[in-house]
Amino acid sequence: MRLALFEPDIPQNTGTMLRMAACLGVAVEIIEPAGFRLDDRRMRRAGMDYLEHVTLTSHDSWDDFIVTPTRRAARLVLLTRAAPTVYLDFAFRPNDIIMVGRESAGVPEAAHAAVDARLRVPMAAGLRSLNVALSAAMVLGEALRQTNGFPEAQP
C-alpha cells in the first residue's frame, strides 16, 4: 500500500501524513510541485523524527509520476469528494496507491481521467470537504484492514 500526495500545498498536512505513513509502514509518493520545499521547517515540525522512517519518493511532475514502474504496476485510487463510490464499498488490494489531492484545488481533470478508481468519504450535506490528512487516514485505515496490511499483522 502506498500514499500519493498530489502537489500538496500545506506543509503541516504533509508532515502529518508522513508521520502516519511511517507508523503504518506505508511508502509515500510526492508529486511536485509542492507549495513548499521538502525540508520545510513546518513540515518537519509536524512530522518530527518520524520522517526518518518514511520511504519517500518525490516526482518532478504528474507526467513523470504516471509513467513510473510503481504506478504502472498498481491501481491508482483517487480520494475525491466528487467520487461515485464510497470507500467502504471498495475492495482494496495490497499494492494499491491511494492518492489525495491538493488542499486548495484537488486534482485536475486529467488526473481524474487517469486513475483506476475514485472514492469518497461520505459527509454531512452542504459541507465542503475533510482535511486531506484525515481523509487519507480514514481510507488508509480501511484499506489496511481489508488487506491485513497493518504492521503488526505482517510476519
Contact positions with ligand SAM (CB under 6 A) in 69-108: 79-81, 100-101, 103, 105-106
Give residue 132's Cα distance to chain centre: 8
Contact positions with ligand SAM (CB under 6 A) in 124-153: 129-130, 132, 135
In angstroms, the CA 83 to CA 67 distance is 24
Residue 121 as a binder of ligand SAM (CB under 6 A): the answer is yes
Burial code (b: 16+ CB inside 10 Å, e: under 16) for 102-123 equals: bbeebbeeebeeebebbbbbee
Nearest alpha-carbon partner for 119 in 145, 81, 92, 75: 81
Binding mask 22-51 for ligand SAM (x = CB under 6 A): ------------------------------
Residue 155 CB, nearest approach to ligand SAM (Å): 32
Using CA of residue 93, residue 84, residue 5, residue 108, what is the dihedral sign?
positive
Residue 152 CB, nearest approach to ligand SAM (Å): 27
Which residues sit at the interface with ligand SAM, rule CB under 6 A? 79-81, 100-101, 103, 105-106, 120-121, 123, 129-130, 132, 135
